[in-house]
Amino acid sequence: MHALLELDCLPAGMELFPAANSSQWELIKKVISESDYYILILAGRYGSVGPEGLSYTEMEYRYALEIGKPIIAFLHKEPGKIAAENSENSSDGKDKLAEFRRMVETRLCKHWSNPSELGSVVSRSLVQLIRNTPALGWVRADQVPDKEATHELLRLRREVDSLKAELENARISAPKGAEGLAHGNEAFSFEYTFREGDYFNPNYFRLRTEATWDEIFSSAAPEMIHEADETTLRGSVNMLIARKETARIKAVEKKQE
């Protein structure tokens, strides 16, 4: 607990809550739920056994697992060397402790052999856990927003969500008032003129073609990223017509020959 206090943590030791009845067990579960992390220290005792045949320590550990609480377990390196008065005396207690220990060892755990080593390994492990799994932590009462500030934050949050929804809708919908304008795969008819031959003896041809508004926009849009004059936009449309009509223009030239 001293090591935790040095890390600005507030330990809520489960040993301070004797689980003598169901209401006390509900309080213990509430404390675990409201905590940011759960630490298990397992040495030579299995602990007081509840109605279901499990110790309250194992019940707490299982509950922390069930609700997804970040957990670190600290196991004694050599439980067989712990003094008899600090160890399980009954064979049933020893068996349950060994089974519980095997279950704990399947998840994140560290080992210790004396109190000073336990404090050290707790400090190092918790610093790493906080870095890898940040939690809410505690806030001073004078730093908690008052009721009016909370309502204002909620109102602003709803406004932001509404504006985000409008923005997302604007990305995939036509602007308001543009419902009746041609767009998408609707075709637009072009009449264009092209010239073939040398400069002094040219032949001029006038033809008509169609392009969808999607094709026109795809051709002109890159020029519109920055401000573009009419000549530049006309050039992009000319390139679109040239790409679409090259084969037909060649056929017309051949026919004229």
Which CATH entry fits the domain spanning 2-139: 1.10.10, 1.20.1420, 3.40.50, 2.60.40? 3.40.50
Burial state string for 33-62 with b = 16 or more CB within 10 A and e = fewer than 16: eebbbbbbbbebbbbebbeeebbbbbbbbe
Q: What is the pLDDT of residue 255?
A: 59
Q: Please, which residues have CB within 8 angstroms of residue 135's CB and are 6 or more apart in sequence?
A: 36, 37, 70
Q: What is the mean pLDDT of residues 119-128?
A: 90
**Helix 213-224 and helix 230-256: axis angle, to 10°?**
130
Judged against a pLDDT cut of 70, whether residue 4 lies above it is answered with yes
pLDDT digits (tens, 9 = 90+) for 54-94: 888 899 999 999 999 999 999 998 888 888 888 888 889 88
The answer to whether the CB of 210 falls within 8 A of the CB of 188 is yes
- At 137, the pLDDT band (50, 70, 90 cuts) reads confident
Helix (H, G, I), strand (E, B) or coil at 154: helix
Q: What is the pLDDT of residue 185?
A: 86
Q: Please, which residues have CB within 8 angstroms of residue 38's CB and are 6 or more apart in sequence?
A: 32, 60, 61, 64, 69, 70, 71, 72
pLDDT digits (tens, 9 = 90+) for 186-226: 888 888 887 777 777 787 878 888 889 888 888 888 888 88
Q: What is the pLDDT of residue 69?
A: 92
Interatomic CA distance for residues 84 and 78, integer angstroms:
13
Kindly report the length of the chain: 257
Interatomic CA distance for residues 188 and 210, integer angstroms:
5
Interatomic CA distance for residues 46 and 151, integer angstroms:
49
Q: What is the mean pLDDT of residues 118-136?
A: 89
CA 143-135-71 angle, to 5 degrees, is: 145
Among 69-83, 113-127, 169-183, whose mean pLDDT is lowest? 169-183
45/254: higher pLDDT: 45
Q: Pick from 70, 72, 67: which is nearest to 3 by CA?
A: 72
Q: What is the pLDDT of residue 104?
A: 92
Judged against a pLDDT cut of 90, whether residue 150 lies above it is answered with no
Judged against a pLDDT cut of 80, whether residue 146 lies above it is answered with no
Judged against a pLDDT cut of 70, whether residue 253 lies above it is answered with no
Measured from the Cβ of residue 97, the count of other Cβ atoms closer than 10 Å reads 22
Q: Token digits for 221?
A: 């849009």
Average pLDDT of the residues of the chain: 84
SS3 content of the chain, % helix, strand, coil (to 5): 55, 15, 30
Q: What is the pLDDT of residue 228?
A: 85
Q: What is the pLDDT of residue 254?
A: 60
Q: What is the mean pLDDT of residues 221-247?
A: 85
Parse the chain into domains and list their residue ranges.
2-139, 187-256
Interatomic CA distance for residues 165 and 150, integer angstroms:
23
Judged against a pLDDT cut of 60, whether residue 257 lies above it is answered with no
Indicate if the alpha-carbon torsion angle 190, 196, 201, 205 is positive or negative. Answer: negative
